[in-house]
Amino acid sequence: MATTLAKADNAEAVEHAARIEHVSKSFAGPTGQQLVLDDITLDVAPGEFVTLLGASGCGKSTLLNLVAGLDAPSQGSITTDGRPALMFQEHALFPWLTAGKNIELALKLGGVPKNDRRDRAEELLELVRLNGSYGKRVHELSGGMRQRVALARALAQESRLLLMDEPFAALDAITRDVLHDELTRIWEETGLSVLFVTHNVREAVRLAQRVILLSSRPGRIAQEWRVDIPQPRRIEDAPVAELSIEITEKLREEIRRHGQQ
Ligand SMILES: Nc1ncnc2c1ncn2[C@@H]1O[C@H](COP(=O)(O)OP(=O)(O)OP(=O)(O)O)[C@@H](O)[C@H]1O
Ligand SMILES: [Mg+2]
């Protein structure tokens, strides 16, 4: 299945999947310009899995939207290796289309010829372990299955960088666990680079090779950790728990510090 995405072949050819250099972002607020992100510098290497962690409102989604090109930084620059694919907490599937047709639409927009789309959609459904769900409509799918289709649709874009904004936050713990396993497997099989946003420390440690902690108001990089725990990990593994405790301590400090400002 590794051949189904373009990434693996040219992984060595590019230096960065994403390069974020001295990025700041302000929004107009009731009391003037509000600085949301302050001087963020961060590279994602080809094939790397990075999680961005921070308290609610610290600017995680804002940063992801900037990397996606949905908005422009106030200062600094962002470059990506091609156009990234996006996956959000809400699946954003078209309810009037079947699972398969949702994926085919992404393939069509990506220029895949009509005759190839059906097979490719079936392949992608197999990759996310939804064989046989091609003809199902969105309302016939569970929350976990919908996120699998959303992941297949993101993968259909053949991007080398996948941006994920709390994609599993609305799922129950067991379903989330299964999808963590699936995402790790797909990441390993495809060689994609992933920038994954979450406020769940355990999730960040479970998935990533590197965890970046953002402070709040404005969002700055507070600290980063390399996660050298071998995959596949489980969220309840002792080393995952240990590192999560350390990171949570630091996150609490950031929240306290922000509270005192
Ligand atoms: N388009 C916008 N206009 C004005 N303010 C905005 C806009 N987008 C985000 N903000 C503000 O920027 C700050 C950061 O928002 P953002 O959505 O990036 O946080 P977050 O870290 O993703 O939070 P959460 O974990 O709750 O999703 C918030 O104070 C928010 O109100
Ligand atoms: Mg957000």
Q: What confidence tens digit (pLDDT) does each residue in 167-219 have?
A: 999 999 999 999 999 999 999 999 999 999 999 999 999 999 999 999 988 99
259 pLDDT band (50/70/90 cuts)? low
Q: Is the pLDDT of residue 5 over 60?
A: no
**What's the gap in Å between 90 CA and the centre of ligand 2?**
12
**What's the gap in Å between 114 CA and the centre of ligand 2?**
36
The CB of 25 under 6 Å from ligand 1? The reply is: no
Average pLDDT over residues 216-227: 95
The CB of 36 under 6 Å from ligand 1? The reply is: yes
What pLDDT score was predicted for residue 255?
84
Average pLDDT over residues 217-230: 96
The CB of 71 under 6 Å from ligand 1? The reply is: no
pLDDT tens by residue, 82-128: 999 999 888 789 999 999 999 999 999 999 999 999 999 999 999 99
Average pLDDT over residues 153-165: 95
**What's the gap in Å between 104 CA and the centre of ligand 2?**
28
**DSSP for residue 240:** H
Give the span between the Cα atoms of 68 and 84, in whole angstroms: 6
**What's the gap in Å between 135 CA and the centre of ligand 2?**
32
Q: Which protein residue has the closest C-alpha to ligand 1 atom 2?
A: 27
Q: Is the pLDDT of residue 26 over 80?
A: yes
Atom of ligand 1 nearest to the CA of 71: 1
Give the span between the Cα atoms of 63 and 85, in whole angstroms: 15
Give the span between the Cα atoms of 91 and 233, in whole angstroms: 25
Give the list of residues 6+ apart from residue 23 with CB closer than 8 angstroms, or none.
Answer: 37, 39, 40, 41, 63, 66, 73, 75, 76, 77, 78
Which residues in the chain are classed under CATH 3.40.50.300? 15-84+163-261
**What kind of architecture, by CATH, is found in domain 15-84+163-261?**
3-Layer(aba) Sandwich (3.40)
